[in-house]
Structure 1
Amino acid sequence: MTPTQAARRSDAPRFSIVVPAYGVEAYLRDCLDSVLSQSFQDFELIAVNDASPDACGAIMDEYAALDPRVEALQLAQNVGLGRARNAGMARAKGTYLLFLDSDDTLLPGSLAAIAQRLDETGDPELLVFDYSRTHWDGRITPNAKAKVLADSPRGAVALDDNPGLLGLLQVAWNKAYRRDFVERWGFEYPTGYYEDTPWTYPVLIAAETIAVLPRVCVHYRQRRQGSILHSTSRKHFDVFDQYGLVFAFIDAHPEFDRWRGPLFDRMITHFRVIENSPGRLPDEARAEFRTTFQQYEKQYRPAGHATPQGAASARRKAVGKLPAPLRGAARRAYRTARKVKAAPRRLRKPLRTAVLAGYYRAQRMLPVQNDTAVFAAYWNTDYACNPAAVHQKLLELAPKVKTTWVLKPGSRNTPPPGTNVVHPGSFGFWRAMARGKYFVNNVNFPTRVVKRPGQIHVQTHHGTPLKRMGVDLAEFPVAQGDLDLPSLMERVDRWDYSVSSNSFTTAIWDRAYPAEYTKLDYGYPRNDVLVRAGEEERLRARAALGLPEDTTVVLYAPTHRDYQNVPQPLLDLEHLAARLGEGFTVLSRAHYFLLDSPGGTGPKDGSGVVDVSRHPSVEELFLAADCLLTDYSSLMFDYALLDRPVVVYANDWEVYRATRGTYFDIHVEKPGHVVATEPELLDVFLSGRWSDDESAKLRTEFRRRFCEFDDGAAAERVVRRVFLKQENVPPVALPPERPSPRTRG
């Protein structure tokens, strides 16, 4: 009996899957779920929190508490990807080791396919499987070297019989490693930027039996930002030390000396990729990199070895023969041609006349006016939300700043006197876009707006996301509709600051809008009024609406449905109001997308329901209401600040989740009672359960998680940081009943 067979007959799991994590809160659940939902169940999952500053550790503990197959390993300090993998590997008990990066996912059926292939090939020391790249805009691209796997021998062989494997991407997560093989050789990951290199090559060379599974098992997420491939840093010099480790392994094992030549070729190719990739090396370090490159080339070139010349080598050789002044231009021309070839064709109709376009260009030639700020909200439809709250605080703290609001005619609210108002697309609008210093919006300014040097854009957003947003809509074509994701990202690239109300939202914005901006974990400015409100504000709001003090006010505020071409009511609100009786008053507020719906969205006269869809202040409606009745609207997160009951009517949850996508299950993380039918909804209110102890407990936990930064001073923090350039803004001061989810036990 072989050691492998003995291990398989013991209680050890078939697979130990190591998932290290750092700063990937927004992706970690997807990763862990992709493993735990596998049809093949004989595995352990070792999740390693590499002292991540976000909620990764809490998520791991949550999964470990719910599933005995999960072990959450919390490292006391950040040690880097390689050593985090080592820490997980030290805990492994499985026959085979697998590694999965925490922003990637395992495809359904992958473990079963891997296990079957291992059985078919006699438990080889190594199994190599395929992967695809998933992109932020929804594209999925195959492994460029997939043919190597497709053409591999069917059985388990050594690398000599399948040398093409050396040309695959140097990653840890496209292989299953027999644990006794790894332990016998003492393989461990080093630290550094390119830690996979001195792991991958020695493992391939040392394995006596390597099988191949030409099946896509992993989706390799190509993040728009945050990867080392998109970073400019001297850390890329780390590649030299890592190849030093590769050749140190060969020196220690002369029986593998035949691999010096192929490894030298791989090293030279890798160095050239780093050297020629735009943006990786700082300009001042390029000469030093080239010098070190040449030193390693001289040191490790085997005697008499000639590196094969491919098309890329021929191109570099031709460029090298050009006069020095032309070499840079030639390289840039090649890179441009490559981008043009890969870029999708975009046909855009002009939205404004040539006169306006020319006027805008002329205005951009004039200086930016440093004492000006431009505001907009909800696609220029209203003076409201976070931008309005920031504007009001700006008038208080920096009254000398000249402010402009972009508003369509007929908005529900108007800015304070003295505020310049321009209509979208007008001459005044394009002048403001060209010469303003600060830009604050809760959506985006038009794509045609050109961000000039010195201009600052603040994205305040307009809610906490239960539903999928941004590039996460790529998987949900119904919700995406005609949204052009590349154009969206052009607009997102203008952001300098992104405001968030909780760490959950911060992580979601990071994945939904991947770009380089500063995160402002300050709370939502529009919620300051809710945090500071007391009984006096409640009574004033009810009086303004003409609501008697002895009535129970239920505010019904649903969200829109992407899957409905023509809006259809999902609740018979008039029937509900009639059954509740005179002791209740129901306020109905339609989603702002539906205000101009041809069929209308408000209740009929005499129905017992008050239509407040066009009321100018949702915050005033919140203050007046005793209970919020909603479905999946982000209003629930704001209303939770008042510590008043919330009831969720989720009668189309499965359809909504399938067509729009959600970031969590409202039945699990719920602000109050969740019901699916009208009889259940009626019972919740008539029985009094809508405001019972369980409802209070649920909303307390909900408030702790999703109202993390809202303490009533969000607008002040934004103004002081962005407009007044103050780094030490007032810290978030949470009340005792709302401790940060990251710190509570």
Structure 2
Amino acid sequence: MPRFSVIVPARSVQGFLRACLDSVLEQSHRDVELIAVDDCSADATGAIIDEYARRDPRLTALHQRRPSGAGPSRNAGAALARGDYLLFLDGDDTLAPGALAAVDARLRACGEPDVLLWDHERMDVWERRRPSGDGAFLEAAGDAVFDAVQRPGVLGVEPAAWNRAVRREHWTGRGLAFADGPYEDVPYAYGSLLTAGRVATLDQVCVTWRERRRGSAVTTPGRHHFVAVERYEELFARLDGLVPGERDGEGAGDGLLPLRTVLHARMTDRLLAILDDPDRIVPADRAAFFRAASRCIRAHRPDGAPLPAALRSYRAYRSLHGAQVLRREVAKELRDRGEAAARTAFRRYYGLRLHTPLDADLVLYGARGNRAVTGNPYAVDRKAREIAPQLHGVWAVHQDAVDAVPAGADHVTVGSRRYWELLARATYLVTDGDFPGAAGRPGQICLQTHQGTPLKATGLDSHRYPGTPAGPGPGRALEHADQWDFCLSANQHSSEIWQRAYPSSYETLATGFPRNDRYATATAAEVRALRAAFGIRPGATAVLYAPTHRVRPDGAVPPLDVVRLAAALGPRFQLLVREHPYSGPHQGAHPRTAALQEEGAVLDVSGHPHIEDLCLAADALLCDFSSVLFDYAGLDRPIVVHTADWDAFRLTRGVYVDLLSGRPGDTPGVLAADEADIAGAFHSGRWDGPAAAALRAAFRERFCQYDDGLAAERVVRRVLLGEDDLLPLLPPGERRTAPSPRAAERAAARQDGATRTLTGPGAVVG
């Protein structure tokens, strides 16, 4: 029988669940069973639980048959528990390292109490941590073992599921359980203490509790918050019904007055906090909630307990609440006054147009900071023109990028009067970034396509790293995420990152990336045509060099010298150099670069708008830490990773995947430290050898999970046409991959041979 049973209810927390499960399974105290309960999650939460269960026999996976909520899920997990003590942990929270060892030591030192309370910390979306507020009581309690009557202040500890261990015999013997519905932890948290004969404390932070921005009952306004009043009514009824023997202390009567006093004060504070919170109680429900809360507070007020001034009448509450709101609004007005002075006439015009009807057939597209017509939005636009021709697509571009718009494509200049008009009236906004000034409006649908699978820290994760490029910052990114209705994912890895880095209420679509459809649909003729258009010599091995964006001081030496590499590779190879769109020119000042381009050893393709074309034309990819390697893996062609500044990059930018680990699924191919190492990989054949192919296959399986050539159609049908279900993914065995350049040349040779046979001397022509 294990020492601890940790029960984790989980619903749609794929972005946080791995950290939660790891925090339990990696504890130094190993005598633990982990029961993870999937509450019918719509995302990969259940699959992650099953993955961990296969790896570690200490984890038991339980899948609810129907959505039931956190309370019933915890109860279901507790019914399977075999441990001496039960601990509950939410799927987006974590145990502190060493927590179970400390809990075990404290339990043994104080003689196996019914309940052990510990401290916790709160963590917001910025990963800023602050103390719980329980520390003073826990410190004062020291090594004492007590019951609630002896220390009524124990009822002031946060009434939560995850800040205590409860002896399993106490759980079953006292009929403890979580309620069904919101505020489900109130009866458990207080009931575990009111019925306990022996309570101990541990003055140590054992849990990090993550504050959610969206998606929980607490952060969703509605009348379900009225349940909080019912929970406290039930709690006082239980307190009134305490009889001798239910708790190793006093029975009902005057001995419980201190408990009533503490519990009443705690209830009053919490119900008033709910009443004041606009994220819980909407203005239309405020009077009704006030009346329900006031009745409960008055009915259970102990003799002599003060009544808050706000509860004398609803008029008194409105007066006090209104004064608080007015103070906040005045402060906000002072902050905004400077910004208001800078608003343009067009922005005011935009505000007016937000009240005009939406155009049901209008789609506004944007890509690469609204300076290109490319990427996933471009692929969506092309597919929409094919299967939804009634939709009218318009590209938003800055004035300096108007020349990038293809002939015949409708476009609008960002900041112009027409831009604000379309931004206000378009039903669909499709972007891999954001539209400047967009406020969003009811009925408008915003699709975030993203620019690639994340390798570098992004969103809220990026603020921890000093090398993050200057930009709007994670706070602004979070504001944009609040406007998204959908975002796209090419693999489960991305889906988990999006949820953590951009926490909001959008729906993640497992569609694949639309721009990668071409890697499944391109023909041999297209591959040959692209190579010819780029000037790749027949028979040459074309290596696409696509480095990531780096913020480098002026005069800093790039990590890879293209001139030296071209010389080391020799005439059998051609380098296609594609600088990142956000970077400056690539080594343009080097005196040998122009000569190498004249000789054809280096082809500068940085100006080409579509990375997919370059990937299709190349025999191999040479990159460092650019997300293009995730896309290129879908072509099943060799990848060489230049690793020269990995350590510095990892520490300054943050990474999600250890490309240098050598583990299948992490490393996409050959690793090379410098120009000589890269050339050696190509000359020796390692770049395309069996070891590299095996790594590439595992990498492709992990990161090209949803890319099957149908991504754009999925997006158009689900987002722009409003179809309920996504087109199913093609099984891996049924997916097609565009032919490699060698295969394309062989196909052309076979075709030429067949043509000569049919038309040569002696041929029979029908």
**TM-fit CA distance, 1:589:** 1.6
The yes-or-no answer on 1:405 pairing with 2:419 is no
Across the aligned residues of Structure 1 and Structure 2, the Cα RMSD in angstroms comes to 3.8
**TM-fit CA distance, 1:594:** 1.0
* Alignment-mate amino acid for residue 11 of structure 2: Y
**Distance 1:501-1:550 versus aligned 2 partners, 3 A rule:** same
**Distance 1:196-1:416 versus aligned 2 partners, 3 A rule:** same
Q: What pairs up with 1:627-642 in 2 under 5 angstroms?
A: 627-642=620-635
Who is 2:700 aligned against?
703
The yes-or-no answer on 1:334 pairing with 2:333 is no
Determine the C-alpha separation between the residues in 2 that align with 1:171 and 1:602.
68
* Alignment-mate amino acid for residue 685 of structure 1: F
Give the secondary structure class of the aligned counterpart of 2:119.
strand
**Distance 1:343-1:566 versus aligned 2 partners, 3 A rule:** farther
Write out per-residue CA displacement over residues 80-127 of structure 1, whole angstroms, 9 at most, x where no aligned residue: 323333343344444433222110122334334434444554443322
Who is 2:682 aligned against?
685
CA contact (8 A) 2:36 2:59 kept: yes
Determine the C-alpha separation between the residues in 2 that align with 1:655 and 1:35.
31
Who is 1:620 aligned against?
613
Who is 2:15 aligned against?
26
Write out per-residue CA displacement over residues 649-672 of structure 1, whole angstroms, 9 at most, x where no aligned residue: 344444333332233433342363
**Distance 1:402-1:505 versus aligned 2 partners, 3 A rule:** closer
Determine the C-alpha separation between the residues in 2 that align with 1:332 and 1:146.
33
CA contact (8 A) 1:703 1:738 kept: no
Who is 1:731 aligned against?
727
**TM-fit CA distance, 1:532:** 1.2
Give the secondary structure class of the aligned counterpart of 1:457.
strand
Determine the C-alpha separation between the residues in 2 that align with 1:602 and 1:684.
27
The yes-or-no answer on 1:274 pairing with 2:269 is no
Moved more, 215-224 or 660-669: 660-669
Give the secondary structure class of the aligned counterpart of 2:404.
coil
**TM-fit CA distance, 1:290:** 5.8
The yes-or-no answer on 1:176 pairing with 2:165 is yes
Determine the C-alpha separation between the residues in 1 that align with 2:45 and 2:60.
13
Determine the C-alpha separation between the residues in 1 that align with 2:631 and 2:334.
40
**Distance 1:697-1:190 versus aligned 2 partners, 3 A rule:** farther
The yes-or-no answer on 1:147 pairing with 2:147 is no
* Alignment-mate amino acid for residue 115 of structure 2: L
Who is 1:555 aligned against?
544
Determine the C-alpha separation between the residues in 2 that align with 1:139 and 1:280.
23
CA contact (8 A) 1:711 1:734 kept: yes
Determine the C-alpha separation between the residues in 1 that align with 2:579 and 2:655.
21
Q: What pairs up with 1:116-127 in 2 under 5 angstroms?
A: 116-127=105-116
**TM-fit CA distance, 1:588:** 2.1
Determine the C-alpha separation between the residues in 2 that align with 1:191 and 1:594.
54
CA contact (8 A) 2:14 2:499 kept: no
Q: What pairs up with 1:432-581 in 2 under 5 angstroms?
A: 432-446=422-436, 448-479=437-468, 483-561=472-550, 568-581=557-570
Who is 2:309 aligned against?
314
Who is 2:750 aligned against?
none
Determine the C-alpha separation between the residues in 1 that align with 2:341 and 2:679.
49
Determine the C-alpha separation between the residues in 2 that align with 1:339 and 1:151.
40
**Distance 1:652-1:183 versus aligned 2 partners, 3 A rule:** farther
**TM-fit CA distance, 1:432:** 4.1
Determine the C-alpha separation between the residues in 1 that align with 2:29 and 2:357.
64
The yes-or-no answer on 1:662 pairing with 2:655 is yes
CA contact (8 A) 2:287 2:314 kept: no
TM-score normalised by the chain length of structure 2: 0.82
Write out per-residue CA displacement over residues 500-549 of structure 1, whole angstroms, 9 at most, x where no aligned residue: 33343233222222223344433322222222112222111111112234
The yes-or-no answer on 1:673 pairing with 2:669 is yes
Write out per-residue CA displacement over residues 606-625 of structure 1, whole angstroms, 9 at most, x where no aligned residue: 45433322223211101111
**TM-fit CA distance, 1:196:** 1.0
Write out per-residue CA displacement over residues 293-338 of structure 1, whole angstroms, 9 at most, x where no aligned residue: 577568x738xx347336xx22343x6345xxxx657535424646
CA contact (8 A) 2:490 2:511 kept: yes
The yes-or-no answer on 1:232 pairing with 2:221 is yes
**TM-fit CA distance, 1:680:** 5.8
CA contact (8 A) 2:578 2:606 kept: yes
| Count of residues in correspondence between the two structures | 715
CA contact (8 A) 1:61 1:72 kept: yes
Unmatched runs of 5 consecutive residues or more in structure 1: 1-11, 740-745
Determine the C-alpha separation between the residues in 2 that align with 1:615 and 1:705.
29
TM-score normalised by the chain length of structure 1: 0.84
The yes-or-no answer on 1:387 pairing with 2:384 is no
Larger gyration radius, structure 1 or structure 2: 2
Determine the C-alpha separation between the residues in 1 that align with 2:279 and 2:16.
26
CA contact (8 A) 1:138 1:474 kept: no
Identity of aligned residues (%): 39
**Distance 1:553-1:337 versus aligned 2 partners, 3 A rule:** same
Moved more, 365-374 or 204-213: 365-374
**TM-fit CA distance, 1:24:** 0.6
